[in-house]
């Protein structure tokens, strides 16, 4: 029983460490056909990106690409999903 709790605690700590944190960005390009979005973004701590850059992200849900357009300033969350850097949440500022 004690062992079960120790494993659960370690798992909770691991999940907390990889939890997505919100990042700021600007939409450069939206490719609905490919389900991808290009964002110019600030630091994304959970992905180890400390420098601002412009890059392509996969959209977790293609529907989210209809909510933003090039030029929009956004806040978003991104995570590595099956090896692909994926936007899991995006919101126009
Ligand atoms: Cu990046």
Domain membership flag for residue 11:
no
pTM, to two decimals: 0.79
- Residue 6 in this model has a pLDDT that exceeds 90: no
Domain assignment of residue 29, given as a range: 21-92
| CA of 47 relative to ligand 1 center, distance in Å | 8
Tokens of 91: 């919101």
pLDDT tens per residue, range 9-68:
565 555 555 567 899 999 999 999 999 999 999 999 999 999 999 999 999 999 999 999
Domain membership flag for residue 25:
yes
- Residue 2 in this model has a pLDDT that exceeds 70: no
Domain membership flag for residue 60:
yes
| CA of 14 relative to ligand 1 center, distance in Å | 22
| CA of 36 relative to ligand 1 center, distance in Å | 14
| CA of 41 relative to ligand 1 center, distance in Å | 7
| CA of 35 relative to ligand 1 center, distance in Å | 17
pLDDT of 21 reads 82
Q: Nearest CA to 26 among 90, 63, 70? A: 70
């Amino acid at each position: 029983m004690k062992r079960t709790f120790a494993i659960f605690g370690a798992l909770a700590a691991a999940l907390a460490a990889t939890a997505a944190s919100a990042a700021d960005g600007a939409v450069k390009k939206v490719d609905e056909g490919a389900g991808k979005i290009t964002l110019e973004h600030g630091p994304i701590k959970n992905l180890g990106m400390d420098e601002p850059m412009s890059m392509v992200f996969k959209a977790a849900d293609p529907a989210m690409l209809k909510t933003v357009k090039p030029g929009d300033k956004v806040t978003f969350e991104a995570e590595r999903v099956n090896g692909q850097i994926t936007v899991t949440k995006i919101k126009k500022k």
